Amino acid sequence: PYQPAWWTNAVVYQVYTRSFADTSGDGVGDLPGIIEHLDHLSELGVDVIWLSPIHQSPQYDNGYDISNYRRIDERYGTEEEFDRLLAEVHRRGMKLIMDLVVNHTSDEHSAFVVSASSRSNVSRDSYFWRGPRRGFAPGEPGGEPNNWGSIFGGSAWTYHPGTEQYYLHLFSPHQPDLNWESTRVRQRVFEMMNWWLDRGIDGFRMDAINFISKRPSLPDSPVGAGGMFANGAPSFVSGPRVHEFIQEMMRAVFAYRDADYLVVGETEGVTVDEAVLFTDPLRGELDMVFQFEHMRLDHGPGGKWDYLPMDPADLKTVVNRWQRALSDRGWNSLYLGNHDQPRAVSRFGDDDKYRYESATLLATLQHMQRGTPFIYQGEEIGMTNAGFASLDQYRDLESLAYYGIATRRGISPERILATLNQVSRDNARTPMQWDDGPNGGFTTGTPWIDVNPNYRDINVQADRTAEKSVFRYYQQLINLRHGSKAVSLGDFELMDPGDPKLFAFRRRFGDEELAVLCNVSGEPLPVPQYEPRHRLVLGNYSDPGDPEMLRPWEARIHRLS
């Protein structure tokens, strides 16, 4: 009989080590800190832990700029501590996957240092080096090889006076893009992946993996309204050889291994059609990808820094599209937040009056879909946006770059702060709140980024024992998935697609059927006639209430059969 892959009923938890738990007192989270809190994760019920990068790195982008792929960064721990973490994770029956950041390296990686040393060195083509645009002298303002902007602001090219050429970086200048056209680059990446799997890890989360193939001529892009730089995405998002490269990787790394790994790609800008190609099991590529459509619902025409409150009805539309598109072929990953996004409860819910109700409603929507749910650290206790009162509390290089650009455009500091408070990646990077002691129990030292002042009320210790416990609600959702094929594998059918406040759907597998009913608003909402009123499996209000009315942010799961 057909055996679905193990990860079809698994739940993944993302640990952002830097902000998880610090045992050394230097203010930066570390591996012993993760080990100390593994029981929290196994009690939550998660099957897999995804670790954001802990490799050696100058930390310009908190580890997404790796200078040595086979070393643990000293700030996070020792090699021995990593092996102990892995053993402790396995001992609890969980798996560990690592970030794989291979669209780019750090500019301090030895391969880049060699590549930059001369035009004729063997590593020159490991990165993208180009001379100035025609008619410009090397280094002359405006002479960049093409007009692409970097994702973190400014040009995607940095001039290197030593060799009088420019190198490409889709992200910061400290993150030069690897040239995947080079077979040597690909081979070295595959060797490194094999090395990690031999060390015993259980898979990878592949950073920006759909950016690895660029159109070879690196053509100019049309310039958007008012922008200095253009969006190069058409030349690198799901580029010409991306599927070939990934299939080659799968053959070189996974084909001869017996164990069943988890491979998830981070694919910003991916369309549903591309996602099917990436995740169709018959094509031998990825198990699942992170799509970003729901992360754009509050972006205005000017992009992420042009914040516009979203309409919850749009979330329904996006969820429905992805649930349907990947129902026959391929598989969805399900997430509402990560280290790059504001906190889910602050963004999609009401983190003030209905924090518990909206956090658990959002969890219901997420965990009751078909796909593999990813929980970002702190979501399981309903942690909120950072709430910084001052610009100097921000640390993220992208936020700081935006601050510089916005200041030069004459935007007031108050407005910049208000925007960062909604949008900045640091919203999700404040330390994990463990208890109501100093620094929320994260560190005995000075944290690298401020703890959210609400840690006295919102913390693991308080939440786990509270009457309204987000943690215990997550536990129940995870339990439900582990024991129900309707949850993990069932069909998805959206009810009432036109209703802006009611988010209701059915899940069906064989003769098991569940109905999910959510009121995505702070006002009472009548229950439609066709919805069930009995056999409640799980809900986020403790008393049954009026069967005809959903209370603010109420979520109910009913069993139909």
Q: How far is the CB of 420 from ligand TEU (least distance, A)?
A: 12
Give the tokens for residue 356. 């518990």
Nearer to ligand TEU, 150 or 469 (CB): 150
Cβ proximity of 104 and 175 under 8 Å: yes
Smallest distance from the beta carbon of 165 to ligand TEU, in angstroms?
23
Strand partners, 174: none
User: Which residue, 14 or 459, has its beta carbon nearer to ligand TEU?
Assistant: 14
Q: Whose CA is closest to 126, among 167, 68, 94? A: 167
Between CA 322 and CA 313 the distance in angstroms is 15
Q: Can you tell me the distance from the alpha carbon of 210 to that of 230, in angstroms, rounded to the nearest whole number?
A: 19
CA distance 239 to 146: 17
Q: Which is nearer to ligand TEU, 149 or 539 (CB)?
A: 149
Strand 512-519 with 555-559, pairing: antiparallel
Sign of CA dihedral 440, 445, 448, 453: positive
CA distances to 17, 35, 170, 338, 387 from 448, rounded to whole Å, are 12, 20, 26, 19, 16
Closest to ligand TEU by CB, 96 or 151: 151
- Residues forming contacts to ligand TEU in the complex (CB under 6 A) are 61, 64, 101, 151, 171, 207-208, 266, 268, 339-340, 398, 425
- CB of 17: closest distance to ligand TEU in angstroms? 13
Q: What counts of helices (H) and strands (E) characterise the chain?
A: 16, 22
- Integer Cα distance of 301 and 310 in angstroms: 13
Please give the Cα distance from 381 to 436 (Å, whole number): 14
Nearest distance from residue 267's CB to ligand TEU, in Å? Answer: 8
Q: Strand pairing partners for 129?
A: 167
Smaller CB separation from ligand TEU, 268 or 357 = 268
Closest to 85 (Cα-Cα) out of 72, 67, 102: 72
Q: How far apart are CA 76 and CA 80, in angstroms?
A: 12
The whole-angstrom separation of Cα 289 and Cα 388 is 32
Choosing from 47, 266, 274, 351, which is the catalytic residue? Answer: 266
The question of whether 298 is a catalytic residue gets the answer no
| CA 82 to the chain's CA centroid | 22
CA distance 518 to 183: 51
Q: How far is the CB of 510 from ligand TEU (least distance, A)?
A: 38
Beta carbon of residue 92, minimum distance to ligand TEU (angstroms, whole number): 26
How many CA atoms are closer than 13 Å to the CA of 359, on its beta-carbon side? Answer: 28
Nearer CB in complex with ligand TEU: 11/208: 208
State the nearest-atom distance from the C-beta of 258 to ligand TEU, in Å. Answer: 30
Q: How far is the CB of 104 from ligand TEU (least distance, A)?
A: 7
DSSP calls for 168-205: E-SS-TTSPBB-TTSHHHHHHHHHHHHHHHHHT--EEE
171 vs 348 by CB, closer to ligand TEU: 171
Shortest spacing between CB 499 and ligand TEU, in angstroms:
31
Give the separation between CA 143 and CA 157, rounded to whole angstroms: 10
CB nearer to ligand TEU: pick between 207 and 357: 207
CB of 212 to ligand TEU, least distance (A): 12
Question: Which is nearer to ligand TEU, 76 or 553 (by Cβ)?
Answer: 76
Please name the amino acid found at residue 47: D
- Would you state the structure tokens that stand for residue 220, as one six-digit string? 């100019």
266 is catalytic: yes
- For ligand TEU, which is the closer residue by CB, 394 or 455? 394
Chain center to CA of 157: 26
Taking CA atoms, 474 is separated from 191, 293, 325, 469, 522, in Å, by 38, 24, 27, 9, 21
Q: List the catalytic residue out of 22, 144, 207, 463.
A: 207
CB 558 within 8 A of CB 537: yes
Question: Among candidates 136, 139, 173, 138, which has minimal Cα distance to 154?
Answer: 173
> What distance in Å separates the CA atoms of residue 174 and residue 166, rounded to the nearest whole number?
13
Could you tell me which residues are beta bridge partners of residue 155?
149
Indicate which residues carry an active-site annotation.
Answer: 207, 266
